[in-house]
Each structure stands twice: as structure tokens, then as C-alpha cells.
Amino acid sequence: MNKQASQVDTGPQLQPGEERRRGQRVIICIAVTLEMMKAGKKVTVRAVTASVNDHGAMLVCSKNFPMDAELELINDRTEQRQSCRVTRAPVENQQGYLIPVEFSTPSPGFWHISFPPPGWKAVEN
């Protein structure tokens, strides 16, 4: 058996640093409001998105939320609401905290934007 015949095509390979994602991400700034209950009171915090997809978003917020915190995310433009949770510990940066959130159920259309088709990649210059 020759070397070529023994190799199986497993499809596109991930480059170092690439992550597997469930859906396309779009880098976009959308104003959102976060609501959560703390000590029996509703806490409301303003934030913006850094990126979004049908499964959640990366938020930029002045407040820190712990991992697994349950939040209600409100799209300020449409006033739609979606339950979500913080998936990893937030990272502090110059703008505040980067907070990754995942919707309790996938919500295609929540952001009211068009996503690139699956497998789409930007052309590198």
C-alpha cells in the first residue's frame, strides 16, 4: 500500500489557536441591558456586545459577574429578552470586563443581523 492510499481526508484542519464554534460569530457593538436578582432585588446593568452568535455573546461591561451567574439579557434596540449564563470567568480589560454568555436555548434571529455562511473566512491581506 502506498503512502497516499493510507491517508484519509479528515476535512479542513484547525490551525493553532483556532477554536471550534457552534456557529459563526460577528464582531459588532450592540447595546444590551443585563438583569439579575441579587439578595432579593433586581439589579440592572448596561453593557455592549463585542461579538455575537446564535448561542450567546461576548459582552463588555463595567461590572463583573461570576461564572455560572444567571442573567436576563435584553437587546436594547428590539427589547427582546433572553435568559443566559456566564460561561467562564470574566477577563478585565481597559473597557471593563469581557463576559462570555451563553443563551439558555439557541436563539437564531435574536440579534437581527445576517451571519456569514458556515465555513466563511475573511481574506487575509
Confidence tier at 16 by pLDDT (50, 70, 90): very low
Q: Which helix (H) or strand (E) holds 107?
A: none
Q: CA distances (Å), 5 to each of 8, 12, 13, 75, 86, in order?
A: 8, 18, 19, 53, 47
DSSP letters, 14-68, are PPTT----SS--EE---EEEEEEEETTEEEEEEEEEEEEETTEEEEEESS---TT
- What the chain holds in terms of domains, given with CATH numbers, is 26-103 (2.40.10.220)
CA angle 75, 26, 14 (to 5 degrees): 140
Residue 74 clears pLDDT 50, i.e. is over it? yes
DSSP 11: -
pLDDT digits (tens, 9 = 90+) for 96-105: 999 999 999 9
Q: What are phi and psi of 6, to 5 degrees?
A: -85, -10
Which one-letter amino acid corresponds to residue 12?
P
The dihedral region occupied by 68, where left means phi > 0, alpha psi between -120 and 50, and beta the remainder, is left
- Give the model confidence (pLDDT) of 22-65 as tens digits: 567 899 999 999 999 989 999 999 999 999 999 999 999 999 99
Residue 10 pLDDT greater than 60, yes or no: no
